[in-house]
Amino acid sequence: MKIFEADKIREIDRKTVEDRKISSTELMEEAAFSIFKIIIKSWPVNTRISVWAGSGNNGGDGLVIARLLISKGYKVEIYLWNPNNKLSEDCRINLSRLDKSLVHEISREFSGNEFNLPKSDLYIDSLFGSGLNRPIEGTLGQLIKHINKSNIDVVSIDIPSGLMLKDNTDIIVKAKYTISIDRPKLQFFFPENHKYIGNLLISPLKLSQLAIDNTKSNYHLTTVSEIKKIFKPRSLFDHKGKFGHLLIIAGSRGMSGASILSAKGALRSGVGLLSIASPSCNRLIVQTASPEAMLIELGENNIFDINKENSLNFNKYRTLVIGPGLGQTSQGFLSFKKLLQQIKQSIILDADGINYFSQLSEKEQVLPEGSIITPHLKELERIIGKVSNHYERIQKTIDLCKRLNSYVVIKGKYSVIVAPDGNCYFNPTGNPGMATGGSGDVLSGILGSLLSQGYSSLESAIFGVYLHGKAGDLAKEKYGETALIASDIVDNLSVVLADIENNKVCRNLIS
């Protein structure tokens, strides 16, 4: 699903009006009616409602919603912010359809505690939409501060007023619920904005599909239907050789679990053959925990403390996972540099592999084309530098991906897969319970497995992150967020994959 920035949303609205041969006022009526239906399902008719409307089209939405609520028997007051006495055409039309005695125009300056907010059960915020391009300040800023301090539940229409892509201040409406028209807005996927958005609801609207298809966007939200298109079902005569041989280079003394969790993630997501390169101190536990994998012993306590990696034939493996639990040593850094120079196929770079990589000069930071890096936020900052917000983080990561011709998975809620062509894919699955040791190791194994099976780098990243998050969501249903551990994610991978298989595979049996 495409996620659009404000200018693209306006263009789609305009083309919808043309394609459907309706007026913009009629489209506004449809959008508001869709939101109205959500509101009346959640709040009873005795709810006292104050609508805070702006002078633009977002304010127009609020005025239509107010009229519809009044017609349903709700007690509604409207406060129209119009200091310049200038309304958009659709806002003006919908103002004319209201009983003027219910509308209080706010067109003068006020300060401090001079303005007393109305006593209501619910505020509806339709002051500004997604097209806002500068921070709110002055009188309106004071009003928003009062609203935020009121302890009254706020429903924001389409987007909390004041929330922009970047350069945000603290003058933003803190909504308990945000009802977004047609699809989420890009700002909703940024971690620093969650406190303003609250619970997100989507209000459907019949926009022109042709306009959506023809409008370019670099931002996407992964959907179930897209995952099912990516999935490659197996045929009756497939064999293990078809599904690739993966090498996981992981583990050190005291960190054998990282290699095991990565291995289990790879095995449960369908890799044909798996080898684990790990120090000999971990031999017993690794072979006991992962009997399906072959073990390659390198070093006593740390793989990279010796140079035996040069004796490995890396060309026999379709893909490599490098990093989980490797540890950090000066000799290891030198060995890691040599290792990168030998590898030609796409790799998964995770954990200590990323930490080693961040120590290389920009000139030395070279990866095989189509590799996938899986950093958490601090690991990513070691490569791209400090950032002030998530939008800046994504833009800098796009530059990194272009430079490396590789992919980056920025891990977190709404993990985002950043591609070298500048496209970004937000993942909808996953939960805070997955913020636990070993979760990232499982993900690296899944990604390595999919890449080994012949999925493209982009398919592997999108599909793998989705699988990982969905398995975590199933684990949450069983154990809750607090008790969830990385092994629970592994245990639920088979359930997720079986569900996808059952929707894709239809084989005829000879009877």
CATH number at residue 148: 3.40.50.10260
Question: Is residue 273 located within the same domain as residue 348?
Answer: yes
Q: Which of 170, 187, 216 is the last residue of a domain?
A: 216
Residue 510 lies in a domain: no
Distance CA 155, CA 65 (A): 12
Question: Is residue 475 located within the same domain as residue 351?
Answer: yes
Residue 171 lies in a domain: yes
Question: Is residue 482 located within the same domain as residue 406?
Answer: yes
Nearest to 452 by CA among 373, 372, 375: 372
Distance CA 320, CA 300 (A): 21
Question: Is residue 158 located within the same domain as residue 307?
Answer: no
Question: Is residue 12 located within the same domain as residue 115?
Answer: yes
Question: Is residue 377 located within the same domain as residue 418?
Answer: yes
Element (H, E) at 65: helix 57-71
Query: 3-state class of 203 per DSSP?
Result: strand
CATH number at residue 289: 3.40.1190.20
Question: Is residue 300 located within the same domain as residue 195?
Answer: no
Nearest to 465 by CA among 491, 444, 488, 492: 444
**Single-letter residue type at 347:** I
Q: Distances from the Cα of 80 to the Cαs of 56, 59, 96, 122, 478, in angstroms?
A: 10, 8, 13, 16, 48
Contacts of 411 (CB under 8 A, 6+ apart): 374, 375, 376, 377, 440, 443
Question: Is residue 244 located within the same domain as residue 211?
Answer: no
Global pTM reads 0.95
Question: Is residue 189 located within the same domain as residue 239?
Answer: no
Furthest CA-CA distance within the chain: 85
Task: Determine contact, residues 423/434, Cβ cutoff 8 Å.
Answer: no
Residue 353 lies in a domain: yes
Question: Is residue 157 located within the same domain as residue 287?
Answer: no
**Per the structure block, which two tokens stand in for 373?**
């890096």
Q: What angle do helix axes 6-20 and 24-42 make, rounded to 10 degrees?
A: 110
Distance CA 341, CA 312 (A): 13
**Per the structure block, which two tokens stand in for 188?**
């909703």
Distance CA 357, CA 337 (A): 8
Residue 511 lies in a domain: no
Query: Residue 246's domain spans which residues?
Result: 224-504
Q: Cα-flanking dihedrals φ and ψ of residue 126, to 5°?
A: -135, 45
Question: Is residue 96 located within the same domain as residue 161?
Answer: yes
Residue 80 lies in a domain: yes
Residue 509 lies in a domain: no
Low pLDDT (below 70) residues in the chain = 107-115, 305-311, 504-511
Residue 470 lies in a domain: yes
Q: Which of 170, 188, 216 is the last residue of a domain?
A: 216
Task: Determine contact, residues 126/58, Cβ cutoff 8 Å.
Answer: yes
Task: Determine contact, residues 228/500, Cβ cutoff 8 Å.
Answer: yes
Token pair 């591609």 is at which residue?
A: 419
Fill in the DSSP letter of residue 297.
Answer: E
Beta strand 153-157 pairing with 103-106: unpaired
The total of structural domains in the chain comes to 2
Task: Determine contact, residues 17/24, Cβ cutoff 8 Å.
Answer: yes
Question: Is residue 312 located within the same domain as residue 404?
Answer: yes
Residue 439 lies in a domain: yes
Token pair 């919908």 is at which residue?
A: 94
Query: 3-state class of 75 per DSSP?
Result: strand
Q: What size, in residues, is the chain?
A: 511
Q: Distances from the Cα of 397 to the Cαs of 128, 375, 423, 429, in angstroms?
A: 30, 11, 11, 21
Distance CA 202, CA 128 (A): 18
Q: What is the pLDDT of residue 108?
A: 60
Distance CA 479, CA 488 (A): 9
HEC string of 347-376? EEEECHHHHHHHCCCCCCCCCCCCCEEECC
Q: Which of 195, 216, 237 is the last residue of a domain?
A: 216
